[in-house]
Amino acid sequence: HYISISRTERLAREIMQDMGGHHIVALCVLKGGYKFFADLLDYIKALNRNSDKSIPMTVDFIRLKSYCNDQSTGDIKVIGGDDLSTLTGKNVLIVEDIIDTGKTMKTLLALLKGYNPKMVKVVSLLVKRTPRSVGYRPDYVGFEVPDKFVVGYALDYNEYFRDLNHICVISETGKEKYKA
Protein backbone atom coordinates (compact mmCIF):
# COMPACT_ATOMS: atom_id res chain seq x y z
CA HIS A 1 0.00 0.00 0.00
CA TYR A 2 1.09 3.57 -0.58
CA ILE A 3 2.08 5.39 2.55
CA SER A 4 -1.05 7.06 3.63
CA ILE A 5 -0.40 10.78 3.73
CA SER A 6 -3.10 11.19 6.34
CA ARG A 7 -1.34 8.70 8.62
CA THR A 8 1.91 10.68 8.57
CA GLU A 9 -0.01 13.88 9.12
CA ARG A 10 -1.83 12.35 12.09
CA LEU A 11 1.48 11.25 13.59
CA ALA A 12 2.78 14.81 13.19
CA ARG A 13 -0.25 16.16 15.08
CA GLU A 14 0.18 13.68 17.95
CA ILE A 15 3.87 14.48 18.19
CA MET A 16 3.25 18.24 18.29
CA GLN A 17 0.60 17.82 20.99
CA ASP A 18 3.03 15.87 23.16
CA MET A 19 6.30 17.63 22.41
CA GLY A 20 5.38 20.99 21.00
CA GLY A 21 5.99 22.96 24.16
CA HIS A 22 9.75 23.00 23.91
CA HIS A 23 12.71 22.97 21.49
CA ILE A 24 12.58 19.71 19.50
CA VAL A 25 15.59 17.91 18.10
CA ALA A 26 14.43 15.53 15.39
CA LEU A 27 16.92 12.71 15.10
CA CYS A 28 16.72 10.73 11.88
CA VAL A 29 18.05 7.19 11.97
CA LEU A 30 19.77 6.54 8.64
CA LYS A 31 19.66 5.21 6.09
CA GLY A 32 16.15 3.83 6.04
CA GLY A 33 14.42 6.68 7.82
CA TYR A 34 15.11 9.55 5.47
CA LYS A 35 11.93 9.64 3.36
CA PHE A 36 9.56 9.22 6.26
CA PHE A 37 11.64 11.79 8.17
CA ALA A 38 11.35 14.36 5.37
CA ASP A 39 7.59 13.85 4.99
CA LEU A 40 6.93 13.91 8.72
CA LEU A 41 8.98 17.08 9.18
CA ASP A 42 7.05 18.82 6.42
CA TYR A 43 3.84 18.22 8.37
CA ILE A 44 5.38 19.25 11.68
CA LYS A 45 6.67 22.46 10.08
CA ALA A 46 3.25 23.21 8.61
CA LEU A 47 1.62 22.71 12.02
CA ASN A 48 4.30 24.91 13.52
CA ARG A 49 3.63 27.69 11.01
CA ASN A 50 -0.11 27.60 11.63
CA SER A 51 0.13 27.65 15.39
CA ASP A 52 0.28 30.77 17.52
CA LYS A 53 3.71 29.95 18.90
CA SER A 54 6.47 28.53 16.75
CA ILE A 55 8.65 25.86 18.34
CA PRO A 56 12.35 25.92 17.51
CA MET A 57 13.32 22.72 15.80
CA THR A 58 16.68 21.34 14.79
CA VAL A 59 17.50 18.16 12.92
CA ASP A 60 20.31 15.67 13.13
CA PHE A 61 21.13 12.37 11.49
CA ILE A 62 22.69 9.28 13.01
CA ARG A 63 23.53 5.84 11.74
CA LEU A 64 23.50 2.86 14.01
CA LYS A 65 25.71 -0.13 13.52
CA SER A 66 25.17 -3.35 15.43
CA TYR A 67 28.47 -4.96 16.26
CA CYS A 68 27.57 -8.52 15.22
CA ASN A 69 25.78 -8.70 11.85
CA ASP A 70 22.04 -9.57 12.26
CA GLN A 71 22.42 -11.12 15.66
CA SER A 72 22.79 -7.81 17.40
CA THR A 73 24.57 -8.31 20.67
CA GLY A 74 22.74 -5.22 21.78
CA ASP A 75 25.98 -3.27 21.41
CA ILE A 76 25.52 -0.47 18.94
CA LYS A 77 27.87 2.12 17.61
CA VAL A 78 26.45 5.53 16.73
CA ILE A 79 28.00 6.87 13.56
CA GLY A 80 27.77 10.51 12.52
CA GLY A 81 25.47 13.03 14.11
CA ASP A 82 26.50 15.95 16.24
CA ASP A 83 27.99 15.47 19.63
CA LEU A 84 25.10 13.93 21.56
CA SER A 85 25.57 16.43 24.40
CA THR A 86 23.59 18.88 22.24
CA LEU A 87 20.52 16.83 23.25
CA THR A 88 20.76 17.81 26.92
CA GLY A 89 17.58 19.54 28.08
CA LYS A 90 15.87 19.16 24.69
CA ASN A 91 12.82 17.24 23.53
CA VAL A 92 14.28 14.54 21.31
CA LEU A 93 12.21 12.85 18.63
CA ILE A 94 13.86 9.76 17.20
CA VAL A 95 12.55 8.97 13.72
CA GLU A 96 12.99 5.38 12.58
CA ASP A 97 11.76 3.51 9.53
CA ILE A 98 11.12 0.14 11.11
CA ILE A 99 11.33 -1.47 14.54
CA ASP A 100 12.16 -5.15 14.21
CA THR A 101 13.19 -6.83 17.47
CA GLY A 102 13.46 -3.47 19.26
CA LYS A 103 16.89 -4.36 20.59
CA THR A 104 18.73 -1.56 18.80
CA MET A 105 16.22 1.08 19.89
CA LYS A 106 16.37 0.00 23.53
CA THR A 107 20.15 0.31 23.40
CA LEU A 108 20.00 3.73 21.74
CA LEU A 109 17.49 4.99 24.33
CA ALA A 110 19.74 3.83 27.16
CA LEU A 111 22.64 5.65 25.52
CA LEU A 112 20.68 8.90 25.10
CA LYS A 113 19.51 8.84 28.69
CA GLY A 114 23.08 9.56 29.73
CA TYR A 115 22.84 12.99 28.06
CA ASN A 116 19.79 14.08 30.10
CA PRO A 117 17.35 15.12 27.41
CA LYS A 118 14.13 16.69 28.70
CA MET A 119 12.00 14.12 26.86
CA VAL A 120 12.63 11.35 24.34
CA LYS A 121 9.94 9.98 22.05
CA VAL A 122 10.28 7.49 19.23
CA VAL A 123 8.23 7.43 16.06
CA SER A 124 8.56 4.51 13.67
CA LEU A 125 6.83 4.24 10.34
CA LEU A 126 6.62 0.47 10.69
CA VAL A 127 6.66 -2.02 13.53
CA LYS A 128 7.22 -5.66 12.67
CA ARG A 129 5.15 -8.31 14.42
CA THR A 130 7.87 -10.80 15.23
CA PRO A 131 8.40 -13.51 17.85
CA ARG A 132 11.96 -12.17 18.21
CA SER A 133 10.70 -8.88 19.64
CA VAL A 134 12.11 -7.84 23.02
CA GLY A 135 8.73 -6.27 23.74
CA TYR A 136 9.71 -2.70 22.90
CA ARG A 137 6.97 -0.44 21.43
CA PRO A 138 7.68 3.02 20.06
CA ASP A 139 5.57 5.97 21.22
CA TYR A 140 4.11 6.52 17.76
CA VAL A 141 3.55 3.86 15.10
CA GLY A 142 2.59 4.34 11.47
CA PHE A 143 1.74 0.75 10.56
CA GLU A 144 2.23 -2.77 11.83
CA VAL A 145 3.69 -5.19 9.31
CA PRO A 146 4.01 -8.99 9.27
CA ASP A 147 7.31 -10.72 10.00
CA LYS A 148 8.57 -10.44 6.43
CA PHE A 149 11.32 -8.46 4.76
CA VAL A 150 9.83 -5.20 3.49
CA VAL A 151 11.39 -2.73 1.05
CA GLY A 152 10.60 0.60 -0.56
CA TYR A 153 10.08 4.16 0.71
CA ALA A 154 13.81 4.27 1.63
CA LEU A 155 13.94 0.79 3.16
CA ASP A 156 16.42 -1.32 1.28
CA TYR A 157 17.54 -4.82 0.50
CA ASN A 158 21.31 -4.61 0.00
CA GLU A 159 20.83 -0.95 -0.99
CA TYR A 160 18.20 -1.75 -3.67
CA PHE A 161 14.57 -0.52 -3.71
CA ARG A 162 15.04 2.60 -1.56
CA ASP A 163 13.52 4.62 -4.42
CA LEU A 164 10.10 2.92 -4.45
CA ASN A 165 7.23 5.16 -3.32
CA HIS A 166 5.42 2.36 -1.59
CA ILE A 167 6.28 -0.47 0.72
CA CYS A 168 6.14 -4.08 -0.33
CA VAL A 169 7.35 -7.47 0.77
CA ILE A 170 10.33 -8.78 -1.17
CA SER A 171 9.86 -12.28 -2.59
CA GLU A 172 12.37 -15.12 -2.41
CA THR A 173 13.02 -14.62 -6.13
CA GLY A 174 13.79 -10.97 -5.48
CA LYS A 175 16.09 -11.84 -2.59
CA GLU A 176 17.97 -14.24 -4.84
CA LYS A 177 18.25 -11.75 -7.68
CA TYR A 178 19.51 -8.86 -5.55
CA LYS A 179 21.55 -10.74 -3.01
CA ALA A 180 24.91 -9.28 -2.06
Instruction: Give the CATH number, domain containing residue 15.
Output: 3.40.50.2020
Whether residue 32 is contained in a domain is answered as: yes
pLDDT over 90, % of the chain? 25
pLDDT at 122: 97
Whether residue 93 is contained in a domain is answered as: yes
Active site residues: 100
Whether residue 83 is contained in a domain is answered as: yes
Q: What is the CA radius of gyration of the chain?
A: 16
Per-residue model confidence as pLDDT tens digits over 27-79 = 998 866 677 898 899 989 888 888 777 788 899 988 877 655 445 555 677 88
Range of the domain at 61: 5-144
CA contacts within 13 A on the Cβ side of 17 = 8
How many domains does one find in the chain?
1
Q: What is the pTM of this model?
A: 0.78
